[in-house]
Amino acid sequence: MGFNKKTIEDIEVRGKRVLVRCDFNVPLKDGVITDENRLNGALPTIKYLIDNGAKVILCSHIGKDASKTLEPVSKRLSEMLNKEVVFARDEEVVGANARAAVEKMNDGDVVLLENTRCRKEETKNVEEFSKELASLADIFVNDAFGTAHRAHCSTVGVTDYVDTAVCGYLIQKELKFLGDAVNNPVRPFVAILGGAKVSDKIAVINNLLDKVDTLIIGGGMAYTFLKAQGYEIGTSLVEEDRLDYALEMIQKAKDKGVKFLLPVDHRVATEFKDVEPVVTEDQNIPAGHMGLDIGPKTEELYADAIKDAKTVVWNGPMGVFEFENFNKGTIAVAKAMADADATTVIGGGDSAAAVNILGFGDKMTHISTGGGASLEFLEGKELPGIVALNNK
């Protein structure tokens, strides 16, 4: 899937009303934004449009429904851009207030619309709201990678009612790093998959097995693979209905000549708590114990497999990294990636959080801003919010 979408640099924006779908779905605590990654990610496109004399109309959702407002985002963005971002407070998102705010704009001005989920049509991709959004603008720019896997009014529907729909710098960057890593990797290509459940990652495992030289499995999903092969897993997470699938994937790896690595030891506990871990001797987990992290021998095995890689894609923590006693495997993998002379790409919401919390954020080539979107990308799916944009 080569990248063939028009970008903001391919079109004339001066004097035009440009509606930009951003991903401002940031976490808020007492009205304060606690993680600004997504705001930072949106700045290059917004700055380019301001500098090139567009009338910049920003929109986004925040939260799952209508209960949150984007007002704190408008304030913080004003500071970050050093320029007023007018907040178009409007329950209808595109109501009289929003229209009036857009009416008043001069070239280079910035307006932020209210949370698109204030409109119940948004997530159902209903025509009416798509048309209203489109009516504000001459050009639509999608830069919301984190929502690109959803066909909503503000990501897909709106493109039917504007002449020009292109992508911004963030989507371009995400597609470049994720796309090159997965579809055009410099080899050896190693993928590391972890996290809680096999069922969340079925399509990712299957798709990546067609592409990688080595597949490393850790986290909660490892126990289903181990049990399928007859190892004892105690009270660890397991998906009984995925045992056959696990064996199928192990066979697929063999057939394809892909090196398939599973934990050779574990850090375990008798309960799901941040307690002093017990390290197992081998793959087997004693009765009454659950695996909460990979063990030290596995850390070494995985670090060794990552060391000579030229491309590494990682999704899913190696253990319950939220517990200090069980973050060692995740740290070891992050460190091995940081030390490797490789392009390193992180996908997945919890994985991105883990890498940042553990202090490896600036050591990776690219950390995707899209949790679900990056996973669907790793599954090999086309993202509707990107498909809908104009081809070059």
- Residues recognised as catalytic: 38, 197, 349, 372
- The three-point CA angle 270-273-279 to 5° equals 50
Residue 167 interaction partner, one of ligand ADP, Mg ion, none, beta carbon < 5-8 Å per kind: none
Beta carbon of residue 346, minimum distance to ligand ADP (angstroms, whole number): 8
By CB under 6 A, tell whether 35 contacts ligand ADP. no
Counting other chains too, the contacts that 223-227 makes at CB distance below 8 Å and 24 or more residues apart are: 223/285, 223/291, 224/198, 225/198, 225/249, 225/250, 225/262, 226/262, 226/263, 226/283
By CB under 6 A, tell whether 319 contacts ligand ADP. yes
Beta carbon of residue 176, minimum distance to Mg ion (angstroms, whole number): 24
**At a CB cut-off of 8 Å and minimum separation 6, what does 132 contact?**
93, 94
* Cα gap 137→154, rounded to integer Å: 12
- Closest alpha carbon to 297 in 269, 256, 266, 274: 266
Counting other chains too, the contacts that 359-366 makes at CB distance below 8 Å and 24 or more residues apart are: 360/334, 360/335, 363/334, 363/337, 363/338, 364/337, 364/338, 365/177, 366/173, 366/174, 366/177, 366/178
**At a CB cut-off of 8 Å and minimum separation 6, what does 255 contact?**
none
Closer Cβ to Mg ion, 52 or 327, answer by number: 327
Q: How many residues bind to ligand ADP according to rule CB under 6 A?
A: 21
Task: Among 320, 332, 340, 342, indicate the residue that binds ligand ADP (CB under 6 A).
Answer: 320
Closer Cβ to ligand ADP, 152 or 328, answer by number: 328
Closer Cβ to ligand ADP, 234 or 317, answer by number: 317
Task: Among 188, 371, 384, 385, indicate the residue that binds ligand ADP (CB under 6 A).
Answer: 371
Around 367, how many Cα atoms within 13 Å sit in the side-chain half-sphere? 23
- Closest alpha carbon to 222 in 107, 103, 302, 342: 302
Residue nearest to Mg ion (CB): 350
Residue 317 interaction partner, one of ligand ADP, Mg ion, none, beta carbon < 5-8 Å per kind: ligand ADP
Task: Among 133, 237, 246, 305, indicate the residue that binds ligand ADP (CB under 6 A).
Answer: 237
Task: Among 214, 298, 351, 368, indicate the residue that binds ligand ADP (CB under 6 A).
Answer: 351
Q: With 0-12 CB in 10 A as exposed, 13-18 as middle and 19+ as buried, what is 241?
A: exposed
Amino acid letter for position 44: P
The torsion defined by the Cα of 310, 314, 317 and 318, in degrees rounded to 10, comes to -40
Two structure tokens written together for 365 = 């080539």
Task: Among 322, 356, 361, 380, indicate the residue that binds ligand ADP (CB under 6 A).
Answer: 322
* Cα gap 155→179, rounded to integer Å: 20
The torsion defined by the Cα of 369, 370, 375 and 379, in degrees rounded to 10, comes to -100
Closer Cβ to Mg ion, 180 or 350, answer by number: 350
Closer Cβ to Mg ion, 71 or 350, answer by number: 350
By CB under 6 A, tell whether 315 contacts ligand ADP. yes
Closer Cβ to Mg ion, 357 or 387, answer by number: 357
Residue 277 interaction partner, one of Mg ion, ligand ADP, none, beta carbon < 5-8 Å per kind: none
Binding string, residues 91-130; x marks residues near ligand ADP by CB under 6 A? ----------------------------------------
Two structure tokens written together for 297 = 């021998």
Beta carbon of residue 45, minimum distance to ligand ADP (angstroms, whole number): 25
Beta carbon of residue 333, minimum distance to Mg ion (angstroms, whole number): 16
Beta carbon of residue 268, minimum distance to Mg ion (angstroms, whole number): 22
Cβ 309 vs Cβ 145: under 8 Å? no
By CB under 6 A, tell whether 263 contacts ligand ADP. no
* Cα gap 76→96, rounded to integer Å: 25
Closer Cβ to ligand ADP, 105 or 196, answer by number: 196
Task: Among 146, 291, 295, 384, indicate the residue that binds ligand ADP (CB under 6 A).
Answer: 291
Instruction: Give, as ranges, the residues between 341 and 360 that touch Mg ion (CB under 5 A).
Output: 349-350
| Contact residues for Mg ion, defined by CB under 5 A | 349-350
| Contact residues for ligand ADP, defined by CB under 6 A | 194-196, 200, 219-220, 237, 291-292, 315-317, 319-320, 322, 348-351, 371, 375
